[in-house]
Structure formats: structure tokens, C-alpha cells
Amino acid sequence: MATAQAIRGEVSEFLGREHGLLIGGEEVDARDGERFDVVNPATGDVITSAPSAGPSDVDDAVRAARAAFPGWRDLPPTRRADLLWRLGTRIAELADEFAQLETIDNGKPLGEALAVDIPLCSDLFKYYAGWVTKIEGQVGTPSFGSFHTYMRREPVGVVGAIIPWNFPLLMCGYKLGPSLAAGCTVVLKPAEQTPLSALRLAELVTEVGFPPGVVNVVTGFGERAGAPLAAHPDVDKITFTGEHTTGQKIVEASKQNLKRVSLELGGKSPTVVFDDADLETALAGTQGAVFFNQGQCCIAGARVFVQEGLRDEFSERLAERARSIRVGPGLDAATEMGPLVSAEQLERVRGYIESGREAGARILSGDDPLDASLAGGYFVRPTVFTDVAADMRIMREEIFGPVAMVGSFSDEDEAVALANDTHFGLAAGIFTRDVGRAHRVAARIEAGTVWVNTYGMFDAAIPYGGFKLSGFGKELGREALELYLQTKTVWVDLS
Ligand code: NAI
Ligand code: MG
């Protein structure tokens, strides 16, 4: 085993300092002084603490965001663009530091944080920096009278952003990039499991010179900090990523002042492998679809449907690959899969694996004991089930762990029916060498993103988001920007 990378000086120093909430440009404690422990999921050790915002802190943050809104909205677009670009640049410059923070907070392998989370987050601030100067209205042409009629695109106002723990820094970018570009101010609530990179980002926001109150960061729990933000009468929009049941609560909480809401919720995505697929491509793609980020991906393509004649060979070979994945601490250079994010998540995922076994699914990999050195952390082996039935819990509910369910289908129609047999509709993968089939099936699958002969591709410029119970409103691309803008129509009588 390779040795674990040493914690960098600036990371230890960051962990050693007591961090506050970012409200109105000031770092402040929660009013009642509450803090919560931050745990390294690879060891179970408490590594630092973070402030636990309560309703009055959220109220302070919303007030600060409201006060900052007119100034931010009216700042010359090039100036706003410049700040977004600088934030993106600083994130890239501090990639090693951010990657270590993500790894010790979330558990993910350092190499993945460096290859995916950090560069994509940096890119998307730069991508949205480009939009700031290109937000344009329209001129209308009424069919009567003599009027100058035009439509202005204006920011919706104060945005509450509530994010999960699976891509902590990246999710900050998903929400902050388009909202800041649109001219909104933001109150960001990171997940209680992973507050560190957002706290570091808060420091950068101040360092690069965002006006006070444009970005406010309130670390804390769902009930204590998230719920009051979702219900706050002076928040104009909530953008949320997380569990669909939490999304439902947010819709409920938003109704008092009819907030705009966009929701990126869970999934139960299908990966469909036809017997004409390039086998190596399909295996590698499926492995990534199911196991990337310890399976803790909203887009995880964990329901794997393989065409009949190929199923046994495919499931065996997927299980072989699963067995060979090196599970260990994310800081260890040899690690290919880190721990799950928390003890709670480990228990949840183990519960699903148990339920699959009890329901009669056959386990092909995942049973081998873990190395004794991993006992303190929240590790689980990559698991492959076959002989799964459509009504099993493991086939219906989002597991959010490294668990694949391999089933089979006979023809295209059955593949589509199985793929769509879920209340969710976030994503899907198709593996085939038949171009016509690829496009036919892509059109018939009920999901917001379909990948063909690949899986899990993301880019700042390309929108993604769900159908059905996976939510509404896109992330990324121009579509996300539109969600933070509203149209004002002006009629001027020229007669
Ligand atoms: P969650 O939906 O409870 O948490 C996500 C965020 O919402 C966190 O910041 C949390 O503090 C906040 N939150 C929780 N309750 C809230 C409320 N009533 N009002 C406002 N904000 C609230 O997800 P959790 O509990 O962390 O994970 C449970 C399961 O949810 C996972 O096992 C997974 O299946 C799913 N999940 C899906 C994600 C996705 O990207 N689709 C991300 C995280 C979790
Ligand atoms: Mg929850």
C-alpha cells in the first residue's frame, strides 16, 4: 500500500483555527455559540468543528443578502464578471488545498477531488463570469398603437442555496455561479456532514473582494438552519440539491411567499447494455456509473440492465472489477474508493445491502471482509447483486452507496420499459454500437440526461437536471442562469 499523503501545512492551519459563519462580510459565531463536530470518515476522528447556525443567524444572513442586493445588481457587469473569474482562478490555484479538505471531510479519493470536483468548480465560475456581460433583454412589437415595449432581464433577488455532502465544493459552485452572475445575492447552507470547503470558499469570497453580504455562508443542520432559510419570507428563491423528501418539505416551506424553487433531487438511474455494445467500454462505463464517488451520486446508474445472452458474463466481469477496486482512505494514493460520508450513511447502505439479500437477490461481490486497518472508518465494499426483482427495495429506492443491481431484458421495448420503471428520472446510460438504436432509446427514456457509450460527463456549459421525482430546473449551462432571472416588461407610449 502506498503511504497516505501528509496533511498540508495550510490545511492543518485551517483546521486548527475556529471558523465562523460568513454574514455581511464578517466572520461571526452562531448567536447561541453552538458548534458541531466535523468528522473524517476515513477514521471516524473529529478533526475540527464548525458553527451551527440557527434561525436568528439565518435571519441575519438573509438581511445581509437583502442589503447587499441593490449594490450587487447594479454593479457594472464587467466588475461582477471580474469577481467571478477571480474566484474561479483562486480555486484552481488552491486546488491541492481544496482537494485535501474535500478528502478529509467527505472521504473521496484525493485524485478524484483533484480531477473532478476542484477543476469543474473553478471552470464553472469562469463559465458564468462570461455570461454576466451577455444578459440581454428584448424589444417587443405590439400589434396596435405606438409603443416602445421592451423586456428587461432582472435578478430574482435573494437566493437561499441548500446543498448536500457528496460534492461539497462543486455544489457551492453549481449554486453560486449562476446566481451571482445573474446579479442575485446568496445565503448558502452547506451540508452538516461537509462544511469545510464552503468555509474555505467563504474566505476566498472576501479575499477576492466581493462586496460584504453578496455571499453569506451559514453552516449547520437541516432542521435548524435549512428549514428557516427555506421558509424565510424575504428569500426570493431556493435552489436545493438533496433527497426528494427534503425537496418536498422545501416546496411546502416555500409556499408562504411563493418563492421560486429549483430542485435537483435523487435518482434511480438505469444503465442499459445491449449485446452489440463494446464490452470493455460498457464495463468501464458501468463501473463508473455505479461506483464513482463511492456510489454517492445523484446520477448513479445503479440499475444495470443487460441484454439476455450477455447478462451472466457481464455481471461476473462487473463483479470482478468491483472486487479489484482498492478501498481505503482517500489520502492514500493507491485508493480507488474511499469511505462513505458518515456513520449514518454507512448504516443506511448496509441496511439496503441486507434488504437485498433478504429479498433473495444474489450477491456476486461485496462479501469479502475489509482490511482491519479500516475498522474506524465508514467503509463498505463495492457490491454487485444479480437475480433482482423489480419490486425489491434495492431496485426502487435511492441507495446512495456503491451497490449495483444487474438485471436483464430481451429487446429494445423491454429495455425501455425497465429503464422507465421508476418514479425518478435524473439520468440514464446506454451502451450499444447501433447508432439508430442509441438515438431511439435515448428519445424514449424518461430522464433529464442520457449518456451513450459513456457515463457521468459534466461540463459547466451543459445543462443537467431531472424529470419526474428527480426535480425541476436545470443546473449548469445557460438554462441554470435563466432560473435566477425574471423578466420585466416596460410599455412606453410614444404618441
Ligand atoms: P438531505 O436532503 O436531508 O440533505 C441535503 C441538504 O438539505 C443538507 O444541507 C441538509 O442539511 C438540508 N436539509 C435537510 N432537511 C432540511 C429541511 N427540512 N429543510 C431545509 N433543508 C434541509 O439528505 P441527507 O439526509 O444528507 O441524505 C439522505 C439521503 O438523501 C441519501 O442517502 C441520498 O439517498 C439522498 N441524497 C441525495 C442527494 C442528491 O444529490 N440527489 C444528495 C444527498 C443526499
Ligand atoms: Mg436528511
Ligand 1 in reach of 243 Cβ (< 6 A): yes
Q: Are 279 and 255 in contact (CB under 8 A)?
A: no
Mean pLDDT of 210-229: 98
Q: Are 304 and 405 in contact (CB under 8 A)?
A: yes
Ligand 1 in reach of 160 Cβ (< 6 A): no
Ligand 1 in reach of 426 Cβ (< 6 A): no
Closest residue (by CA) to atom 25 of ligand 1?
Answer: 243
Q: Helix, strand or coil for residue 233?
A: coil
What are 302-356's pLDDT values in tens digits?
A: 999 999 999 999 999 999 999 999 999 999 999 999 999 999 999 999 999 999 9
Distance of CA 367 from the midpoint of ligand 2 (Å): 28
Using the predicted structure, report yes or no on whether residue 75 has a pLDDT greater than 50. yes
Which residue out of 243, 298, 469 has the highest number of ligand 1 atoms within 8 Å of its CB and is therefore the one to mutate? 243
Using the predicted structure, report yes or no on whether residue 300 has a pLDDT greater than 80. yes
The long-range contacts involving 202-205, CB below 8 angstroms and separated by at least 24 positions, are 202/22, 202/27, 204/87, 204/90, 204/91, 204/94, 205/22, 205/87
Distance of CA 466 from the midpoint of ligand 1 (Å): 16
Res 5: pLDDT: 81
Ligand lying closest to the C-alpha of residue 192:
1
Res 1: pLDDT: 44
Ligand lying closest to the C-alpha of residue 193:
1
Mean pLDDT of 29-34: 98
Q: Are 242 and 383 in contact (CB under 8 A)?
A: no
Confidence of residue 3 (pLDDT cuts 50, 70, 90): low
Tell me what percent of the chain is helix, strand and coil, each rounded to the nearest 5.
40, 20, 35
Ligand 1 atom, smallest distance to 249 CA: 18
Closest residue (by CA) to atom 38 of ligand 1?
Answer: 242
The long-range contacts involving 174-177, CB below 8 angstroms and separated by at least 24 positions, are 174/124, 174/241, 174/264, 174/475, 174/476, 174/480, 175/239, 175/241, 176/125, 176/215, 177/84, 177/124, 177/125, 177/127, 177/128, 177/460, 177/480
Mean pLDDT of 192-220: 98
Ligand lying closest to the C-alpha of residue 227:
1
CA 207 to CA 87: how far, in whole Å? 9
CA 201 to CA 114: how far, in whole Å? 16
Distance of CA 154 from the midpoint of ligand 2 (Å): 33
Mean of all residue pLDDT scores within the chain: 97
Ligand 1 in reach of 356 Cβ (< 6 A): no
CA 201 to CA 398: how far, in whole Å? 30
Ligand 1 in reach of 162 Cβ (< 6 A): yes
Mean pLDDT of 483-492: 98
Res 352: pLDDT: 98
Ligand 1 in reach of 167 Cβ (< 6 A): no
Ligand 1 atom, smallest distance to 246 CA: 2
What are 99-152's pLDDT values in tens digits?
A: 999 999 999 999 999 999 999 999 999 999 999 999 999 999 999 999 999 999
Ligand 1 atom, smallest distance to 253 CA: 19
Distance of CA 463 from the midpoint of ligand 1 (Å): 22
Ligand 1 in reach of 475 Cβ (< 6 A): no
Using the predicted structure, report yes or no on whether residue 68 has a pLDDT greater than 60. yes
Distance of CA 291 from the midpoint of ligand 1 (Å): 20
Residue given cell 459563519 in the structure block: 21
Res 108: pLDDT: 98
Ligand 1 in reach of 226 Cβ (< 6 A): yes
Using the predicted structure, report yes or no on whether residue 212 has a pLDDT greater than 50. yes
Ligand lying closest to the C-alpha of residue 165:
1
Res 4: pLDDT: 76
- Provide, rounded to the nearest whole percent, the portion of the chain with pLDDT above 70: 99
Closest alpha carbon to 80 in 223, 183, 188: 183
Ligand 1 in reach of 191 Cβ (< 6 A): yes
CA 405 to CA 398: how far, in whole Å? 12
Q: Helix, strand or coil for residue 147?
A: strand
Half-sphere exposure of 338 (CA within 13 A, CB side): 30
- The residues that are catalytic are 264, 298
Res 431: pLDDT: 99
